[in-house]
């Protein structure tokens, strides 16, 4: 590839970011992700996956299930790990959420603006303090570096010298100083209320009477379904500690400020695994899972340059992860966090918090009896939890794949790993005559039984290539006027646009091989 092309092919725009608005527009235009209830004006924090989006999401989901449950990693001792898969109910006995700490503690501090009626998460705000006069400006931290925000800030502070302004977390501002604070969407001081705790669980009622006694919750994490099934798995599935239980499914959180497309939504999917081990081995397994999960994100196409791990500070640890190894997040450089990073997956040492809580509240013994050692021992296992976002993972894979290329009619292409691409191959007859459709259809009928293949006759060949660049199809197979003579077709590689002639009877093998990489 020549230098000029190398410069024009990049997954960032000139400001160093994937153009997020373009990505969101592409997702809608090409059937990846639509706003939920759009014909009614939408509903904040909810998204629908379209035909291409659900294929992409299922590819990521199936890869996780395969690598965790069907073919789990090889452990430090050289043996494959034991991990059982489950699919638990979304609504469980509400007492389970009291025991897990979610009824009492799963809340975000929120401040309201009395003037605009807008609501903010206090821990997502930053305070910009004007050291000359003590004036304080509050902003959402993820927009602080945007040009419009900086302009507003300079205007409000009456200075171009940002050095005079000190940025601190909003939560460090004393409540008696709130009178000096100008909120993010107003020009007036003193409009923000004191932070109030807001529980994130969605409530519903089970049964016809809808009284307070029938109150139940939509699960805010898939993890608790695993703890609730721990005893059934130990009693019935012939597992021995250490072992894991994994599940993929929806979780619901009434987020105060859903934002950044599908990054923070109110309904999303998680891929979680609880690894039950002896307390003495927890540190070793914690390290193992951080490394294993980081490599996994690379295996699905996320570049190592856009990944980092970050240990939680003590004051940001969840109630279940205090003490022990704490939590390490695997973070991705999302377009809206760049040059910074945002959480993709958390690996937490939950210790014996959940099992002990459920034992106490359910009055059911959950200790593990280990008779494989002498003398036999009884203990409450510790848990290492790799908890990944499937929905957020889809966004990371999309952002990673989005590659600006001014030399193409589409101006960009989605550079998915072939195994992640929603459509693996497209069969394109060059002309609608001379026997080409018959040959192309025969090829299509055989390929479609092996992998997701499209038969595409719409528009000229350039338009068809452009559409497949936009949806990230790795291989376009063109049946042309030479095909009836040489029984071969031209395969166009999405990333390089290079073309190669492949015999019709070798095309399935060619694509299958690329899907294994
Ligand atoms: N069981 C532990 C747990 O739920 P978490 O860090 O709250 O931990 C795990 O969530 C993952 O779920 C996150 O790393 C993120 O990828 C995803 N996630 C959490 N809240 C989300 C939201 N509102 N929208 C989309 N994904 C979310």
Residue 413 in contact with residue 494, Cβ under 8 Å?
A: yes
Whole-number Å distance, alpha carbon 271 to ligand 1 midpoint, is 9
Whole-number Å distance, alpha carbon 49 to ligand 1 midpoint, is 18
- Nearest atom in ligand 1 to the alpha carbon of residue 343 is 14
- Nearest atom in ligand 1 to the alpha carbon of residue 265 is 24
How far, in whole angstroms, is CA 466 from its chain's centroid?
27
Residue 117 in contact with residue 374, Cβ under 8 Å?
A: no
**What's the burial of 420, exposed, middle or buried (CB within 10 Å: 0-12/13-18/19+)?**
buried
| Cβ-proximal residues to 249 (8 Å cutoff; 6+ apart), any chain | 87, 88, 90, 222, 225, 269, 270
| Cβ-proximal residues to 271 (8 Å cutoff; 6+ apart), any chain | 61, 64, 65, 68, 246, 248, 387, 388, 389, 390, 393
Q: Global pTM?
A: 0.89
| Cβ-proximal residues to 505 (8 Å cutoff; 6+ apart), any chain | 487
Q: What does 264-295 look like in DSSP terms, one character per residue?
A: B-SEEEEEEEEEEE-GGGHHHHHHHHHHHHHH
Q: For atom 19 of ligand 1, which residue has the closest CA?
A: 389
Task: Identify the residues whose C-beta falls under 6 Å from ligand 1.
Answer: 221, 223, 253, 255, 264-265, 268, 270, 272, 343-346, 385, 387-389, 391-392
How far, in Å, are 137, 230, 237, 353 from residue 366 at the CA level?
A: 51, 8, 15, 12
Could you read off the pLDDT tens digit of each residue along the chain, which spans 517 residues? 233 333 344 555 444 468 999 999 999 999 999 999 999 999 999 999 999 999 999 999 999 999 999 999 999 999 999 999 999 999 999 999 999 999 998 888 999 999 999 999 999 999 999 988 889 999 988 787 777 888 888 888 888 777 788 999 999 999 889 999 999 999 999 999 999 999 999 999 999 888 888 999 999 999 999 999 999 999 999 999 999 999 999 999 999 889 999 999 999 999 999 999 999 999 999 999 999 999 999 999 999 999 999 999 887 887 787 778 899 999 999 999 999 999 999 999 999 999 999 999 999 999 999 999 999 999 999 999 999 999 999 999 999 999 999 999 999 999 999 999 999 999 999 999 999 999 999 999 999 999 999 999 999 999 999 999 999 999 999 999 999 999 999 999 999 999 999 999 999 999 999 999 7
How far, in whole angstroms, is CA 109 from its chain's centroid?
23
Nearest to 345 by CA among 314, 378, 404, 300: 300
What pLDDT score does 12 carry?
52
Distance, in Å, from the CA atom of 357 to the CA atom of 368, rounded to the nearest integer, reads 15
Strand order in the sheet with 425-429: 453-455, 425-429, 475-479, 488-493, 499-503
Angle, CA of 231, 235 and 238, to the nearest 5°: 125
Whole-number Å distance, alpha carbon 262 to ligand 1 midpoint, is 12
Nearest to 368 by CA among 285, 279, 247: 279
Whole-number Å distance, alpha carbon 268 to ligand 1 midpoint, is 8
Q: For atom 25 of ligand 1, which residue has the closest CA?
A: 264
- Nearest atom in ligand 1 to the alpha carbon of residue 348 is 2
Q: What does 144-193 look like in DSSP terms, one character per residue?
A: TTSHHHHHHHHHHHT-S-GGGEEEEEGGGS-GGGGGGEEPTT-SSBT-BP
Distance, in Å, from the CA atom of 80 to the CA atom of 270, rounded to the nearest integer, reads 24
Distance, in Å, from the CA atom of 477 to the CA atom of 462, rounded to the nearest integer, reads 13
Whole-number Å distance, alpha carbon 347 to ligand 1 midpoint, is 11
What pLDDT score does 15 carry?
46
| Cβ-proximal residues to 353 (8 Å cutoff; 6+ apart), any chain | 101, 319, 320, 321, 383
What pLDDT score does 14 carry?
44
Residue 516 in contact with residue 66, Cβ under 8 Å?
A: no
Q: In residues, how long is the chain?
A: 517
> If DSSP states are collapsed to H, E and C, what string results for 220-270?
CCCHHHHHHHHHHHHHHCCCCCCEEEEEEEEEECCCCCCECCCCECCEEEE
The token pair that represents 410 in the structure block? 């589409």
Bridge partner list, 196: 110
Neighbours of 392 (CB within 10 A): 23
Distance, in Å, from the CA atom of 353 to the CA atom of 101, rounded to the nearest integer, reads 10
Q: For atom 18 of ligand 1, which residue has the closest CA?
A: 389
Q: For atom 23 of ligand 1, which residue has the closest CA?
A: 264
Mutate which of 244, 290, 343 for ligand 1? The one with the most ligand atoms within 8 Å of its CB, which is 343
- Nearest atom in ligand 1 to the alpha carbon of residue 387 is 9
Q: For atom 17 of ligand 1, which residue has the closest CA?
A: 389
Whole-number Å distance, alpha carbon 415 to ligand 1 midpoint, is 26
Distance, in Å, from the CA atom of 84 to the CA atom of 406, rounded to the nearest integer, reads 47
Mutate which of 45, 202, 221, 396 for ligand 1? The one with the most ligand atoms within 8 Å of its CB, which is 221
Whole-number Å distance, alpha carbon 274 to ligand 1 midpoint, is 15
Mutate which of 257, 346, 395 for ligand 1? The one with the most ligand atoms within 8 Å of its CB, which is 346
The token pair that represents 14 in the structure block? 């000139």
Whole-number Å distance, alpha carbon 217 to ligand 1 midpoint, is 17
The token pair that represents 256 in the structure block? 């105060």
Mutate which of 121, 392, 395, 399 for ligand 1? The one with the most ligand atoms within 8 Å of its CB, which is 392
Q: What's the first-to-final CA gap in the chain, in angstroms?
A: 22
Mutate which of 101, 218, 268 for ligand 1? The one with the most ligand atoms within 8 Å of its CB, which is 268
What pLDDT score does 11 carry?
54
Whole-number Å distance, alpha carbon 198 to ligand 1 midpoint, is 17
């Amino acid at each position: 590839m020549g230098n000029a092309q190398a410069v024009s092919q990049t997954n960032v725009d000139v400001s160093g970011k994937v153009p997020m608005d373009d990505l969101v527009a592409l997702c809608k235009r090409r059937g990846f992700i639509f706003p939920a209830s759009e014909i009614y004006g939408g509903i904040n924090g909810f998204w629908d996956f379209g035909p291409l989006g659900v294929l992409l999401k299922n590819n990521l989901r199936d890869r996780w299930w395969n690598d965790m449950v069907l073919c789990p990693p090889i452990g430090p001792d050289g043996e494959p790990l034991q991990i059982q898969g489950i699919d638990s109910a979304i609504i469980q006995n509400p007492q389970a959420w009291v025991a897990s700490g979610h009824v009492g503690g799963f809340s975000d501090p929120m401040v309201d603006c009395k003037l605009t009626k807008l609501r903010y998460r206090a821990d997502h705000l930053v305070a910009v303090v004007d050291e000359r006069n003590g004036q304080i400006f509050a902003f959402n931290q993820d927009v602080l570096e945007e040009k419009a925000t900086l302009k507003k800030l300079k205007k409000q502070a009456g200075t171009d010298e940002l050095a005079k302004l000190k940025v601190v977390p909003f939560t460090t501002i004393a409540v008696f100083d709130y009178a000096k604070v100008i909120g993010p969407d107003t020009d007036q001081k003193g409009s923000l209320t004191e932070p109030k705790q807001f529980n994130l669980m969605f409530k519903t009622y089970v049964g016809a009477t809808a009284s307070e006694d029938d109150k139940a919750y939509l699960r805010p994490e898939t993890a608790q379904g695993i703890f609730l099934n721990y005893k059934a798995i130990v009693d019935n599935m012939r597992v021995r500690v250490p072992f894991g239980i994994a599940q993929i499914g929806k979780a619901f959180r009434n987020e105060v400020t859903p934002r950044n497309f599908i990054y923070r939504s109110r309904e999303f999917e998680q891929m979680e695994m609880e690894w039950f081990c002896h307390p003495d081995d927890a540190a070793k397994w914690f390290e193992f899972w951080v490394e294993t999960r980081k490599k996994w994100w690379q295996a699905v196409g996320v570049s190592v340059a856009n990944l980092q791990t970050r240990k939680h500070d003590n004051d940001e640890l969840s109630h279940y992860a205090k003490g022990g190894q704490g939590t390490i997040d695997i973070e991705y450089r999302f377009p809206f966090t760049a040059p910074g990073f945002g959480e993709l997956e958390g690996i937490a040492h939950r210790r014996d918090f959940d099992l002990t809580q459920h034992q106490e509240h359910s009055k059911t013994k959950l200790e593990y009896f280990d008779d494989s050692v002498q003398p036999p021992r009884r203990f409450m296992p510790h848990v290492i939890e790799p908890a990944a976002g499937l929905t957020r993972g889809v966004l990371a894979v999309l952002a990673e794949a989005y590659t600006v290329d001014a030399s193409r009619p589409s101006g960009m292409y989605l550079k998915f790993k072939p195994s992640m691409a929603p459509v693996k191959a497209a069969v394109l007859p060059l002309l609608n005559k001379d026997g080409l459709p018959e040959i192309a259809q025969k090829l299509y009928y055989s390929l479609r039984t092996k992998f997701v293949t499209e038969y595409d006759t719409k528009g000229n060949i350039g338009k068809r290539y452009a559409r497949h660049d936009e949806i990230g199809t790795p291989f376009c197979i063109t049946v042309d006027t030479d095909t009836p003579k040489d029984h071969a077709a031209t395969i166009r590689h999405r990333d390089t646009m290079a073309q190669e002639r492949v015999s019709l009877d070798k095309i399935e093998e060619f694509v299958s091989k690329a899907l294994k990489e």
